C-alpha cells in the first residue's frame, strides 16, 4: 500500500458524551505517532460547519497539558454541531465547498466522531469524494451515551453515562431510606427510543440501593399497569423508587412527554416531562406523596465520574480509526466487538458506514423481564464490564481542570 | 470532674447531607476510645422518633467495615426524622417517655446531629432533663448543606454540597460551549432562605466555566432586571448560564416558586419551580431558546464527590461533641471557628443551643455584588478552603459501597 501523505481532519458532531474528547485524544496520539504520513492534525471547530467555514483548531499549536486534559474534559472540546448534509445528487453546494477545503488543506484523512446522524454525514462525504475522484480516507468514530448504534457491542460514552446514573441513583435511594415512610420517587433518565441508560439503573438495585421498578421505551407504557406496580411495592415498603426513560410512549406510540398523551383523573392534560407527569398521577390519583428527579445534562457531561473502561475504549476507538485509515480503509465506522464477558475482553472492528447510518439499536426482549418493569440478569451481565474502573478527575484547588485549546471553545473567555 | 459513667445516645435529624455519617463516625470513634466512661453507643433509628419508640442500632453489634464506610455513605445511615417536640411546659408526654428511656438505658450522653430545628429539639430536651434533675450531657452536632446555622463559620455538609455544585455546573457550562449559538440555561440550586449553595457556583466561573449570572434569596428578585441582565450577556456571548436559588422571592417576599408569584406575558401563571418559570419567561417573552436544570436531591447526597476538608471537619465535629460531653459540657452545639483563611486553619468551638435554635444565617451584603447578580471576591475567599481535597469513594465493581448497619436502614432489604 502506497503511503497517502497529507493532513488529517477530525470533527465532533451531535450531543456530547463525557468521553468523546478521549476519542479525540486517541486520534491525536495515533496521528502524532505517524508523522511521516500525517503531517498536521486539524480539528473542525463545531463539526462540519467549522470545516465549511474554514475554522480549524491546529494540534501543532497546542501544548501537551491541554491534550492530556482531553481525557478528563466533558462536552465537545472542539465544538459540536447538528447539521444534516443534503443529498449531493440534489444539492452539492456543501460538497463542492468541502472538496475545495480538502484540496486547499491537503486533507487526506477525514474522521468524524458522532452517532447515527453523523455516520450519515460521514457516509455522504465518503461517497461524494469517491464520486469526484478525490483521494481521502473517511472513517467514522462512534459515540453516543444512548448506546443505540447498531453493529457494535456498545458505544463509547455509554459506559460512563451508565456509571454516573447507577451511582447517582444509589445515592438517591440511600437518601430516601432516611425516612421510615417515604415517597414515591420517580427518576427520569435520558433515552428517547432506546432504554439502555435507564436499564443500567438496575445495577444499583443489585448493589442493594436502587429502583424497584424500571420502565423502558421498548415496552409500551400503561398508566394502569404502572399504578398497580407502584401500589404493590409501596404497600410493602412504604416507599418506591422508579426509574423511567424520557422516551416512554403509550401503546399508540405517543410519547408520554407530549402534552396530549396523558390526562389526569380530572381530564386535565399533565404538564412537564415524563417523571413530572407520573409524579402528578401518583400524587393526585393514588394519593401518595411523590416527587420527581430529572438527571438532566449531567448524564452526558459528568467528567468527574467516568468509567475507566469507557475512557480507554474511547481512546482505543480513536486510535483504531487512524490505524484503519493508514491501512487504506475508508467508508467504515470503527466498532467494538466483545470477545468474552467473563473475563471481559473486547477488540475493535469495522462496519460499512451505510449499514450504520440512521439506524437504532434497542434493548432485545431477552434483557427485559416478563412484567416489562425491570431487566433480566442477561442485561446486568452485558453492562457490568462497561462501568468498571474509575478515571480519577484532575482537580486543581478542589475544582476540575478542563482542556482549553488555543482557538478552541471557551478560549476567548 | 467526676466521671459520668453510662451510655451514649446519638441521633440524626432533618435533611441528610453527604457527610452527616462522617460526624456519626467521629462520635463512634471518640466514644470507643473512651470506653472506661462510655459503655455503649446507641444510635436512634430515625432520630428522636426512634428514641421514643425504643428503636436503637447498637454500635457494639456492628463490624469495622460498616463503621469505616460511614465516611463514604450519603443520606442518614441511621435514619432521620422531621419531628417538632412540643414545649414541655404545655405537653410533656414525649419528655416523660424520653426520661423513662434514658433511665432504662442509662443514657448519660445525648448527641443530636442536625440543623436549626434539631438544635431546638436538643435545647428543649436539655432544659427538661435539667428541670427534672436527670443528669445527662446534651450536645448538638451541626449539619446542613444550606450553611445557614448562626455562630459557626460554616457547617459540615456545606463544603461537599458546594463542591458537587461547582463541579457539576462546570460540566454543564463546558457542555454548553459545544454549540456556537447556545441557549439560556438556568440551573436551580437548593436554598430556601440562604443562598450559600447558589453563591458557590461562582467558583466555577472563576475557573473559566461557570454561570454568568447568580441570583440569591438575599436579594429581592425582579423579573425585569433579570431579563435585562440576561439580554446583556446573551447579546455578547450568544449563550448565558444562570444560577438561581430555589428560594428566590420578589420584593413583596413572595416565593417565585409559589404558583401566584409570576404571570407570563399572556397573564397565565407560570407552573413549576423557579428555574422552570424563568426558562419559560426567557422563551416566551425574550424569544430566546432556554432550558432549565434542577440539581435536585443529589446536591445533598453526592457521596461520590465530597470535599475532604468537609469530611474531616464533620468527623472532627463529631469527636469534639463527645470530648465536650466528657469534659462536662451540656446544652451547647459544637461550632467551627475559622482561625485564618490563608493558610486555612479552623478549630472547634461551642455556643449555647438556645442561641442557635431556629435562627438562620444568610449571606452578608459584602459578599454580594452591587448589581445583585453575582458574588464578590470576599465570598470566593470564604468558600475556597471548604471545598479542598477529595474523599475518594469506595467502589466495588464500579459501584459505590455504602454502610449497611445491622438493624440499620435498608438492612431488611
pTM above 0.90, yes or no: yes
Instruction: Say which CATH architecture domain A6-144+152-157+305-359+389-400 belongs to.
Output: 3-Layer(aba) Sandwich (3.40)
pLDDT of residue B408: 82
Tell me which long-range contacts B271-277 makes (C-beta under 8 A, separation of at least 24). B271/A271, B271/A272, B272/A271, B272/A272, B273/B188, B273/B246, B274/B188, B274/B244, B274/B245, B274/B246, B274/B248, B275/B186, B275/B187, B275/B188, B275/B244, B276/B188
Would an 8 Å CB–CB cutoff place B303 in contact with chain A?
A: yes
Nearest by CB to residue A398, choosing from B82, B172, B387, is: B387
Strand partners, B292: B186
pLDDT value of position A413: 40
CATH number assigned to the domain covering B6-146+153-157+303-358+389-400? 3.40.50.450
> Taking a C-beta distance cutoff of 8 angstroms, is the pair A387, A18 a contact?
no
For residues A51 and A101, give the distance between their C-alpha atoms in angstroms, rounded to a whole number: 8
Q: Does the CB of B169 have a partner CB in chain A at under 8 Å?
A: no
- pLDDT tens digit sequence for A38-57: 999 999 999 999 999 999 99
Q: Quick check: bond before B175 cis, omega within 30?
A: no
Is position A146 annotated as part of the catalytic site?
yes
Residue B208 burial (10 A CB sphere; 0-12, 13-18, 19+)? middle
ipTM attached to this prediction: 0.94
Identical fold, B6-146+153-157+303-358+389-400 and B159-301: yes
Contacts of A271 in chain B (CB under 8 A): 271-272
Would you state the CATH architecture of domain B159-301?
3-Layer(aba) Sandwich (3.40)
Rounded CA gap, A237 and B413, in Å?
A: 9
- pLDDT score of A21: 98
Cβ-Cβ contacts under 8 Å for B37 (sequence gap 6 or more): B3, B4, B5, B6, B326
> What are the residue boundaries of the structural domains of chain B, listed by start?
6-146+153-157+303-358+389-400, 159-301
* Rounded distance between C-alpha atoms, residue B294 and residue B191, angstroms: 12
Fold category of A158-301 in CATH = Rossmann fold (3.40.50)
Whether A284 and chain B come into contact, CB under 8 Å, resolves to no
**Partners of residue B208 in chain A, C-beta under 8 Å:** 402, 404, 410, 413
The alpha carbon of residue B407 is apart from the nearest alpha carbon of chain A, in Å, by 13
What is the reported pLDDT for A252?
A: 85
Pairwise CB contact (< 8 Å): B209 & A174: no
CB contact under 8 A, B179 and A79: yes
Nearest-angstrom CA–CA distance, A170 and A191: 19
pLDDT in tens, chain B (413 residues): 678 999 999 999 999 999 999 999 999 999 999 999 999 999 999 999 999 999 999 999 999 999 999 999 999 999 999 888 899 999 999 999 999 999 999 999 999 999 988 999 999 999 999 999 999 999 999 999 999 999 999 999 999 999 999 999 999 999 999 988 889 999 999 998 999 999 999 999 999 999 999 999 999 999 999 999 999 999 999 999 999 999 999 888 888 887 655 655 555 555 568 998 999 999 999 999 999 999 988 999 999 999 999 999 999 999 999 999 999 999 999 999 999 999 999 999 999 999 987 789 999 999 999 999 999 999 999 999 999 999 999 999 999 999 999 988 767 54
The Cα of A35 is separated from the nearest Cα of chain B by a number of Å equal to: 29
CA–centroid distance for B358 within its chain:
15
Q: Which residues of chain A have pLDDT under 50?
A: 413
Among candidate residues B303, B297, B411, the one with its CA nearest the CA of residue B71: B303
CB contact under 8 A, B170 and A294: no
- B402 and A73: CB-CB below 8 Å? no
Cross-chain Cβ contact A297/B172 below 8 Å = yes
Which one of A146, A148, A153, A310 is the catalytic residue? A146
Query: At a CB cut-off of 8 Å and minimum separation 6, what does B31 contact?
Result: B8, B38, B41, B59, B322
Q: Is residue A74 less than 8 Å (CB to CB) from chain B?
A: yes
- Say whether A305 and B301 touch across the interface (CB within 8 A): no
Amino acid at each position: 500500500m502506497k503511503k497517502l501523505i497529507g493532513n488529517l481532519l477530525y470533527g465532533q458532531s451531535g450531543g456530547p458524551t463525557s468521553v468523546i474528547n478521549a476519542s479525540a485524544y486517541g486520534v491525536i496520539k495515533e496521528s502524532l505517532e505517524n508523522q511521516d504520513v500525517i503531517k498536521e492534525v486539524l480539528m473542525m471547530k463545531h463539526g462540519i460547519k467549522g470545516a465549511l467555514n474554514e475554522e480549524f483548531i491546529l494540534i501543532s499549536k497546542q501544548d501537551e497539558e491541554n491534550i492530556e486534559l482531553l481525557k478528563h474534559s466533558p462536552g465537545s472540546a472542539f465544538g459540536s454541531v447538528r447539521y444534516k448534509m443534503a443529498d449531493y445528487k440534489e444539492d452539492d453546494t456543501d460538497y463542492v465547498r468541502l472538496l475545495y477545503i480538502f484540496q486547499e488543506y491537503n486533507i487526506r484523512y477525514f474522521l468524524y466522531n458522532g452517532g447515527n446522524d453523523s455516520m450519515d454525514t460521514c457516509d455522504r462525504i465518503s461517497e461524494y469524494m469517491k464520486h469526484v475522484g478525490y483521494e481521502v480516507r473517511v472513517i467514522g468514530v462512534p459515540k453516543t451515551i444512548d448506546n443505540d448504534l447498531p453493529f457494535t457491542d456498545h458505544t463509547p460514552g455509554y459506559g460512563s453515562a451508565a456509571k454516573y446514573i447507577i451511582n447517582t441513583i444509589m445515592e438517591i435511594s440511600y437518601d430516601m431510606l432516611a425516612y421510615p415512610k417515604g415517597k414515591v420517587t420517580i427518576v427520569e433518565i435520558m433515552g428517547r427510543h432506546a432504554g439502555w441508560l435507564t436499564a443500567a439503573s438496575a445495577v444499583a438495585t443489585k448493589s442493594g440501593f436502587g429502583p424497584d421498578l424500571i420502565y423502558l421505551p421498548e415496552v409500551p407504557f400503561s398508566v394502569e399497569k404502572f399504578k398497580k406496580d407502584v401500589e404493590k411495592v409501596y404497600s410493602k415498603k412504604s416507599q418506591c423508587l422508579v426509574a423511567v426513560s424520557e422516551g416512554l410512549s403509550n401503546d399508540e406510540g405517543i410519547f408520554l412527554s407530549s402534552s396530549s398523551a396523558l390526562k389526569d383523573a380530572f381530564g386535565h392534560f399533565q404538564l412537564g416531562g415524563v417523571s413530572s407527569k407520573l409524579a402528578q398521577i401518583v400524587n393526585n390519583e393514588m394519593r401518595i406523596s411523590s416527587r420527581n428527579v430529572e438527571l438532566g445534562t449531567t448524564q452526558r457531561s459528568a467528567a468527574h465520574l467516568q468509567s475507566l473502561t469507557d475512557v480507554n475504549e474511547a481512546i482505543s476507538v480513536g486510535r483504531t480509526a487512524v490505524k484503519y485509515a493508514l491501512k487504506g480503509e475508508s467508508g467504515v465506522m470503527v466498532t467494538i466487538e466483545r470477545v468474552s464477558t467473563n473475563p471481559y475482553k473486547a477488540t475493535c472492528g469495522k462496519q460499512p458506514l451505510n449499514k450504520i447510518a440512521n439506524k437504532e439499536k434497542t434493548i432485545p426482549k431477552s434483557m427485559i423481564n416478563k412484567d416489562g418493569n425491570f431487566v433480566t440478569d442477561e442485561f446486568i451481565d452485558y453492562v457490568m464490564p462497561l462501568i468498571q474502573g474509575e478515571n480519577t478527575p484532575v482537580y486543581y484547588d478542589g475544582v476540575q481542570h478542563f482542556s482549553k485549546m488555543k482557538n478552541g471553545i471557551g478560549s476567548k473567555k
